[in-house]
Amino acid sequence: MGRVFVLTKQVAFSAEKSEWLSIFAFSMGQFKDIALPLITRGIPVIPLRPKTKIAFLIGWEKLATTDLTQIETWDREYPDANAASVAKAKIGQYWFLELDRPEAGQRIEAETGQRVPDTFRVRSSPGRGHLYWKQNAKSLAMGNIAQNFVKGTGWSARVCDEYVVSPGSWHPTSGRQYETVNTAEIVEAPDWLIDWLISQKLDKKVVQQTIEQGGMIPHGARNVTLASMAGKARHRLHMDEDQLFSYLKDVNRKQCNPPLPEEDIRTIAASIGRYPIKDETILVRGVPMDVRAQQALQPQAEEAPELPVLAQVPYPKFPEWVMNDTSIFEGFVKPVCDVNSRYPEFMWMAAMVILMNFLALKIGVNKKRLITSFFLVNIGMKGRLHKSASIADAMRFFS
């Protein structure tokens, strides 16, 4: 899918007094190929993790762009990334109607007696996909509509700072590409369509209250609602997997129309049943509340508290050999620490975590959707670590 470029550069290696030919290869991948047709139409995009629907940039809502320079930068950094089209709540921008079931579009036309007009359309899988619409005052007033809180099933409206996966991206389960099936100009949605979508909204508080009182669970909210109910039963009643399965089967039969398949219920019960039960004991000065209450009824002799004797522990010494002679140390850490009071080990570790997370997006296991993330917790003397400044400096260094 991608285009590969190879650059060569001669560099002198002083320790050996000889010259080496270093070959640096990098790939210009599919991200730009996906993004270009969209930004040409004025649709802001962001990168997604390869072969997933997951946005990984912090603050992606604000980063979504049609700027070609930024697209090319992301293409160099994340050549294998999928892309997402982002809805922006502004006149002249775009919003998306996701149809997640084949019958969703049929139901719209059957209940309104209208035909959905042609507009730019993307297929995610057979019978499912996204309709792109231009924003107007009516769509802005409608706002986002979540699939979990609508009458019927199988659709959602993504109007403000929400996204759909862009055509050309790879579907995480089917392994197929999202496909453009209608290249028509993006038009405004007709009033009758927006009116129908608004009429299908369900108030979240009313839905939740109705469910708690034994009312029907909306079709699109069955999985998330049953998982939530199972979580409460797990922690409050200490139910195991089999008990959760029996409980959810009963709720599914009585409150879901149509009921979920039994294998879905088993999956939810198995997933929730693995979570550890939270200890909800209330402690008062380290003593359970019920024990503390009993102690309060009995006269207690005044005793001086016995203070523990803590041994003096020397401040730990970082193994400097780990970082010495690395390019991060020589090119980033050492020059900074030579002119200020930074702790080099904390600067080096922060930079290494950033580097490893960058590389995690470039390296994969064959036929495995494995995305590794690295985390770092620094513990040291208060006010002496400059953690946030070290991270910000490291990001500038890598840029």
Domains along the chain with CATH numbers? 30-199 (3.30.2250), 204-273 (no CATH), 320-398 (no CATH)
Q: How confident is the model at residue 284 (pLDDT cuts 50, 70, 90)?
A: low
Residue 217 pLDDT greater than 60, yes or no: yes
Question: Which of 249, 274, 250 is closest to 261 using CA atoms?
Answer: 249
Residue 370 sits at the vertex; the CA angle it makes with 34 and 4, to the nearest 5 degrees, is 40
Q: How confident is the model at residue 158 (pLDDT cuts 50, 70, 90)?
A: very high
Q: Minimum mean pLDDT among 208-222, 287-301, 306-320: which range?
A: 287-301
pTM over 0.85: no
Among 249, 245, 248, 253, CA closest to 216: 253
Query: Residue 363 above 70 pLDDT?
Result: yes
DSSP code at position 7: E
Question: Position of tokens 């790879």?
Answer: 170
CA 350 to chain centre: 22
Picking from 393, 399, 351, the residue whose alpha carbon sits closest to that of residue 374 is 351
Average pLDDT over residues 254-271: 88
283 falls in which pLDDT band (50, 70, 90)?
A: low
Task: Tell me phi and psi for residue 238, to 5 degrees.
Answer: 55, 40
Q: How far apart are the first and last CA of the chain?
A: 26
pLDDT tier for residue 85 given thresholds of 50, 70 and 90 = very high
Identify the top-confidence range among 12-16, 45-49, 302-306: 45-49
Top pLDDT among 316 and 328 is at: 328
Q: How confident is the model at residue 299, as a pLDDT?
A: 62
CB 98 within 8 Å of CB 108: no
CA 262 from chain center: how many Å?
28
Provide, rounded to the nearest whole percent, the portion of the chain with pLDDT above 70: 79
Over range 117-146, report the average pLDDT.
95
Q: What is the pLDDT of residue 292?
A: 59
- Which tokens sit at 260? 């979920």
pLDDT given at position 316: 75
From the list 51, 48, 47, 91, the residue with the least C-alpha distance to 72 is 47
The encoded tokens of residue 97 equal: 């109607």
What average pLDDT is seen over the chain?
A: 82
Q: How far are the Cα atoms of 56, 83, 365, 372 from residue 369, in angstroms, in the given order?
A: 15, 17, 8, 10
pLDDT at 35 over 90: yes
Is residue 363 within 8 Å of 352, Cβ to Cβ?
no
Phi/psi at 331 (nearest 5 deg)? Answer: -95, -15
Percentage of the chain with pLDDT > 90? 41
